[in-house]
């Protein structure tokens, strides 16, 4: 996997994390954040497959899986930040 492929995956995670933060700021219940991140990641994974030839997915199913996992990683990152900031 080339560096650009890894960068694309981490970019999906960052975009999904920012989307989750936006949803929280707009007052969306936190129980919906994993769904929002997963769906956003799936859409971004498909878009990246078609837009970037070096994206590490050669077919639609793999692109969806990479996107969904990257989106859900944003939810995990959000939980990590929340748990580390607790006192």
User: What is the value of pTM for the model shown?
Assistant: 0.84
Residues 46-83 pLDDT 10s: 999 999 888 888 899 999 999 999 999 998 887 888 88
- 32-61: b (≥16 Cβ within 10 Å) or e: ebbebbbebbbbbbbebbeeeeebbbeeee
Given a cut of 60, is residue 1 above it in pLDDT? no
């Amino acid at each position: 996997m080339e560096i650009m492929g890894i960068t694309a995956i981490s970019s999906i995670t960052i975009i999904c994390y920012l989307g989750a933060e936006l949803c929280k700021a707009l007052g969306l219940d936190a129980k919906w954040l994993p769904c929002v991140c997963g769906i956003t990641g799936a859409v971004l994974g498909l878009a990246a497959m078609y837009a970037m030839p070096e994206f590490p997915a050669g077919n639609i199913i793999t692109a969806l899986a990479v996107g969904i996992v990257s989106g859900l990683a944003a939810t995990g990152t959000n939980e990590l930040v929340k748990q580390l900031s607790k006192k």
